[in-house]
């Protein structure tokens, strides 16, 4: 999607999600800047991380693959807030991402 990315990974219990996201953002930024010959690309601060059991992998993969279809009726912001509520994560509006429409 043009305004967000979903990444499905399996990580060891001692892997810090913040370290994983930092590395993904750093390496992908370098790659994109090099390939596009630009210094203007950057990721927003922050990220969302949600865990799923192995039994749900197919469902999650299909959800990711269907992004273009379901974003015809639901914005990224709506999707993200829906996940926060589904996972019972308290949040404050002022700390959410900057969403682009």
pLDDT digits (tens, 9 = 90+) for 47-67: 889 999 999 999 999 999 998
Whole-number Å distance between alpha carbons of 19 and 26: 10
The pLDDT value recorded for residue 100 is: 65
Whole-number Å distance between alpha carbons of 81 and 91: 9
The pLDDT value recorded for residue 53 is: 92
Tally of structural domains, the chain: 2
Residue 6 lies in a domain: no
Mean pLDDT of the chain: 89
**59 and 98 belong to one structural domain:** yes
Residue 7 lies in a domain: no
**80 and 65 belong to one structural domain:** yes
What pLDDT, in 10s, does the model give residues 22-39?
999 999 999 999 999 988
The pLDDT value recorded for residue 95 is: 80
**63 and 83 belong to one structural domain:** yes
Residue 37 lies in a domain: yes
Whole-number Å distance between alpha carbons of 61 and 56: 9
**61 and 75 belong to one structural domain:** yes
The pLDDT value recorded for residue 60 is: 94
Name the residue range of residue 96's domain.
Answer: 52-101
**57 and 74 belong to one structural domain:** yes
pLDDT: which is higher, 84 or 96: 84
Mean pLDDT of the region 74-84:
88
The pLDDT value recorded for residue 29 is: 93
């Amino acid at each position: 999607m043009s305004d967000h990315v979903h990444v499905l990974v399996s990580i060891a219990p001692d892997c810090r999600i913040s370290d994983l996201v930092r590395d993904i953002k750093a390496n992908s930024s370098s790659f994109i800047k090099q390939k596009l010959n630009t210094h203007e690309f950057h990721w927003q601060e922050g990220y969302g991380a949600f865990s799923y059991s192995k039994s749900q992998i197919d469902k999650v993969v299909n959800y990711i693959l269907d992004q273009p279809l379901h974003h015809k009726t639901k914005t990224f912001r709506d999707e993200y807030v829906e996940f926060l509520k589904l996972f019972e994560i308290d949040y404050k509006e002022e700390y959410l991402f900057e969403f682009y429409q």
